[in-house]
Amino acid sequence: MKIPIVSIVGKSDSGKTTLICGILPELKRRGYRVATIKHDVHGFDIDKPGKDTWKHAQAGADIVIISSPQKVAMIEKVNEELTMDQVIAKIDNVDLILTEGYKRNNKPKIEIFRSTVHDKPLCTADDNLLAFASDINPGLGVPVYSINDYSGLAEFIEKTFLVNKTK
């Protein structure tokens, strides 16, 4: 069965991370396993110079995996940026994937929009838009939730994507 994907999108400084971090505990309380993918156009580095995994990569490893009884992490060198679908293909054993920062993807989206920060929303009705988390109703014909209504948004996601799944 395909894992449902919901992209949390919005312009810079709209509160995407805060929204995801508010929705996650609500979904976890309902018993779901959730993966998140954060897209970073600037690049990132999670490996610290001098650490063993960093030394492995410096010595030529294309993939470095670190594993402990509590978690596992994989760092893979790539020649070009992976598509969202290529990243998603690496995920299993979850009920839902929430993404942040993939505004141009074709996945279902919830946009966070703050009228005090930006002039107009990022998405239109043609952008696979499911709902808005906003301080106003932008009038695009989708449900609008308060920016801080994490429970309501989690319930919306649950009813839309997870209601028929067994936990």
Higher pLDDT, 39 or 162: 162
What's the CATH number where 144 sits? 3.40.50.300
Range of the domain at 156: 5-44+79-162
Q: Reading across the β-sheet that carries 5-9, which strands appear in turn?
A: 34-38, 96-100, 5-9, 109-113, 129-134, 144-145
Mind listing the pLDDT tens digit for each residue in 11-23? 988 999 999 999 9
**How many domains are contained in the chain?**
1
Is 146 inside a domain boundary? yes
Question: What percentage of the chain reaches a pLDDT higher than 90?
Answer: 57
Asked whether the beta carbons of 122 and 9 are under 8 A apart, the reply is yes
Residue 167, in any domain of the structure: no
Residue 108: inside a domain, yes or no?
yes
Residue 60: inside a domain: no
pLDDT at res. 4: 96
